[in-house]
Structure 1
Amino acid sequence: LVASPEIYNYLEEEISNLVGTEACVIFPTVTLISIGVLPAFVGKTGVLILDKSGHETMYEGAKIARDNGATLESFEKDDFSSLEEILKKHESNNRKVIMVDGVYSMTGDYANLPKLVKLAKKYKALIYIDDAHGFGVIGENPTNEFPLGKKGNGIVKYFGMEYDNIIYVGGCSKAYSSLAAFVACSKEMKTFIEAFATPYDLSGPCPIASLSTLLQGLNINKESGDNRRKKLFDLTSRAINGLRGLGYDVLNKTGFPIISVLIGDTEKLIKTANMLFDEGILVTVAPYPMVRKGEDVHRITITSANTEDEVDKLINAFSKVRVNKIDPLHQS
């Protein structure tokens, strides 16, 4: 006999309760969800509508669906006029799915869910939200005291919305540092996914060790998550203000702990990354063609385990880059 360990059932119930859905299906990764669930949703005749700024894994899943016969359309982030034109074009198709990030992985921007949901309901489309970065960080009832919200239950709850026409995908490798991901949905949709999303049957399961770390992470979230997120926001604001004070163009409008510093030139990007590393700072480089030409950035991720002294060290390292006259091409 083949069966899932009991921890699966327990975690799926815990996550469902946290995000506020009827049910939840755990997969090993968000990538497996995208390449399995998206083709299952639209079959051979449906329409997938991709936000061009969305994560590459959604595009990979959409290409599989397209190769099976589905239609793939795309629109620029926040271009709701173009999105509505596409929805009108396919108004008679009953299998339409709009694909967006909840929190965009390079800028920390939030998807404009209120506008997306309004359009999706008008044209009877589903919204597939990849909230790999948002889950565990942003959540319900944001206030001045808790700008990221509470509970870390994701972008939908951050906006105080329901899941009527939303398929919510969360990743656990970011905030929870665990090899797991999930689809939060209705019980009916869970049954559909288990039956028709190929990776659910044919890929390997999550290691029990990873599920155990996720379980402990959820316990920590209950005990001290909101205070950790408050600290996280404060540290992020300190970093953003410090970098902007040095003249750097920082691509962050939300205070989410993804900070992209615009350099604008691949050669300078690599050179400054090495200089920062020599100062004890490891940044993620995003050169062309990972991003558009002239939009090369250093991507910095702040965690609640960081300290004010470490953030000050980061700012000081970037100041030394400026002193050595290896300046970004674009300055604020």
Structure 2
Amino acid sequence: MMDFTSSLYLAMKHPGTTLQHWKQLTTGIPAVLGEPALNKQVAEQIARLQGLECGLTAPSTLHLYWDLYHVLSRQPVIVFIDEHIYPVSRYGVEQLLVKKIPVFYFRHQDDEHLQQLIQRHCKGAKKPVVLCDGWCPICGQAAPVEHYAALLNNMDGHLFIDDTQAFGILGAGASTLFPYGMGGGGILRWKQLPAGHTRCITTIVSLAKAWGVPMAVIGSTRNHIRQLEQASAIRTYSSPVSNAHIQAAVSALHWNQTTGNQLRARLWNNVKLFRHRMAWADLNVNNSCFPVQHLHHPSPGITTAIYHQLKQWDIKTVLSATHTGIHPRLTLLFRSDHTREQIWHIAQELTRICRQLTNVKGILSPEL
């Protein structure tokens, strides 16, 4: 069985025998009454890896978004949300609607449309707040967060970025030879945002993708994190992140520092090899360096046939939707522990299947 469905991009698995032991799994008290020092240290290190001052851990991004909307519902703000933001990032938005906080959706990754909406609706004392994803795995592109930040800095607004996809993969110093960059600090490092631009930015990151740890961290300025911590409702009723998850995060920090760049290089080599083999076979793939690669045919039946044929040969892939949701695509998620033989094999099988089907040319359309 070959698996191209897992988003453990760097293949960090954290078996229990490799982690530090803990005396008890959880504290049994809500986070507001006490949180282990190690939790705070992990949050600080992850925030600084992104170029931010301070961080706070949570069991999941769902916890953080529920708290975020709770806090925003008590402030004089107008909220602008990317129309295709990750679904979990919307959970809790009804708290704004109940309090009659205005909410507007702007076109996906369209900074000009966002600016138009802000200029149209933010004419009083209310401040603009923007929510978006740092990287969209569906269209394979980064959001223009540098433009969002420049706009909001001039208006005393705030930008909340879900950087779950990019964190651990993208970093500073990206180039055509190595588009991921170094360090794995996420979209802010990859975009090389200066410190002055990040003053209005808060990131929400799940460590469950590249780092393989199902927990989350919110990072921002020290003052902003303090305000969120004091206003939190979730921390009043939920335990801190468990010791098991924190020890896995410590392990991930260690591996990222010692071998992270090698893992990212191996991952890019796998993606690059796959793309080269697809180009050799005259099968186009989406124009993205990210380890989520899409194939799409105008005929849904052909895409579905490719998926089922691979499944019969014990090759696991994903049938996914575009933003429009009109036709399915065949999606493959690559990891650093995929072997060259596996990449050659999946490319060979895709080529063979496609040659058996009609309309082979244009098996993938880059338009999403």
Taking structure 1 as the reference length, the TM-score comes to 0.90
Aligned equivalents of 1:234 and 1:190: distance in 2? 38
Distance in 1, matches of 2:328 and 2:284, equals 12
Partner of 1:298: 330
Q: Find out whether 1:164 has 2:195 as its counterpart.
A: no
Correspondence for 1:284: 318
Match in the other structure for 1:220:
255
Q: Deviations over 1:218-275 (max 9, x none)?
A: 101111111211121121122123234444442233x111112223455444432221
Please tell me whether residue 68 in structure 1 is matched to residue 68 in structure 2: no
Code of the aligned partner of 2:62: T
- Conserved? CA contact 2:136–2:143, under 8 Å: yes
**CA positional deviation for 1:206:** 2.5
Partner of 2:87: 56
Query: Is it true that 1:179 corresponds to 2:210 in the alignment?
Result: no
Matches of 1:309 and 1:327 in 2, distance apart? 28
Please give the alpha-carbon distance, in whole angstroms, between the structure 2 residues aligned to 1:68 and 1:83: 23
Partner SS, residue 74 of structure 1: strand
Would you say the 8 A contact 2:127–2:155 is kept in 1? no
Q: Is 2:265 aligned against 1:233?
A: no
Mean Cα displacement is larger for which, 315-324 or 261-270?
Answer: 261-270
State which drifts further: 169-178 or 41-50.
Answer: 41-50
Cα separation, 2, equivalents of 1:196 and 1:317 = 54
- Summarize the Cα distance change of 1:145–1:79 in structure 2 as closer, same or farther, 3 Å threshold: closer
> Is the Cα contact below 8 Å between 2:285 and 2:364 reproduced in 1?
no
Partner of 1:129: 161
Provide the secondary structure at the position in 2 that maps to 1:99.
strand
Cα distance in 2 for residues equivalent to 1:252 and 1:200: 41
TM-superposed CA distance for 1:184, in Å, is: 0.6
8 Å contact kept, 1:136–1:154: yes
1:262 aligned residue (296, 309, 317): 296
| Contact kept in structure 1, 2:300 and 2:328, CA below 8 Å | yes
What is the distance in 2 between the residues matched to 1:131 and 1:68? 27
Query: Residues 102-113 of structure 1: matches in 2 within 5 Å?
Result: 102-113=134-145
| CA 1:269–1:35: 2 relative to 1, 3 Å | farther
Contact in 1 for aligned 2:135/2:165 (Cα 8 Å): yes
Structure 2: stretches of 5+ with no match in the other structure:
1-28
Report the residue type matching 1:125 in the other structure. G
> How many aligned positions are there?
329
Partner of 1:24: 55
CA spacing shift, 1:122–1:248, aligned 2, 3 Å: farther
Offset at residue 197 of structure 1 (A):
3.1
User: How far apart are residue 118 of structure 1 and its match?
Assistant: 2.0
Q: Please state how far the C-alpha of 1:121 moved relative to its aligned partner.
A: 2.2
Equivalent position SS for 1:251: coil
Query: 2:131 corresponds to which residue?
Result: 99
**Which moves more between the two structures, 59-68 or 12-21?**
59-68
- The Cα RMSD (Å) is 2.3
Structure with bigger RCO (C-alpha 8 Å, 6+ apart): 2
Matches of 1:247 and 1:322 in 2, distance apart? 10
Q: Is the 8 A contact 2:296 2:303 kept in 1?
A: no
Residue 268 and residue 211 in structure 1: after superposition, are their counterparts in 2 closer, same or farther (change >3 A)? Answer: farther
Pick from 80, 84, 104: which aligns with 2:111? 80
- TM-score, normalised to structure 2, is 0.82
| Contact 1:239–1:312, Cα closer than 8 Å, also in 2 | yes
2:269 partner amino acid: D
Q: CA deviation at 1:123?
A: 3.0
**Percent identity of paired positions between Structure 1 and Structure 2:** 16
- 1:143: Cα distance to partner? 3.1
Counterpart position of 1:141: 173
Q: Which has the larger radius of gyration?
A: 2
Equivalent residue number for residue 20 of structure 2: none
Residue identity matched to 1:153? G
Residues 318, 26 of structure 1: alpha-carbon distance in 2 compared, 3 angstrom cutoff: same
Pair 1:77–1:209, CA change in 2 (3 A) = same
Runs of 4+ in structure 1 off by over 6 angstroms are: none
Query: How much does 1:326 deviate?
Result: 6.4
The 1:215/1:261 distance shift into structure 2, 3 A limit, reads: same
Between 1:158-167 and 1:54-63, the stretch displaced more is: 54-63
Alpha-carbon distance, 1:45 to partner = 4.3
Q: Is the contact between residue 171 and residue 187 of structure 2 (CA under 8 Å) also seen in structure 1? A: yes
- Counterparts of 1:12 and 1:299 in 2: how far apart (Å)? 32
Q: Distance in 1 between matches of 2:327 and 2:90?
A: 21
Aligned amino acid, residue 117 of structure 1: A
The 3-state SS of whatever aligns with 1:242 is helix
Cα displacement (A) at 1:85: 1.4
Q: How far has the Cα of 1:180 moved from its partner?
A: 0.9
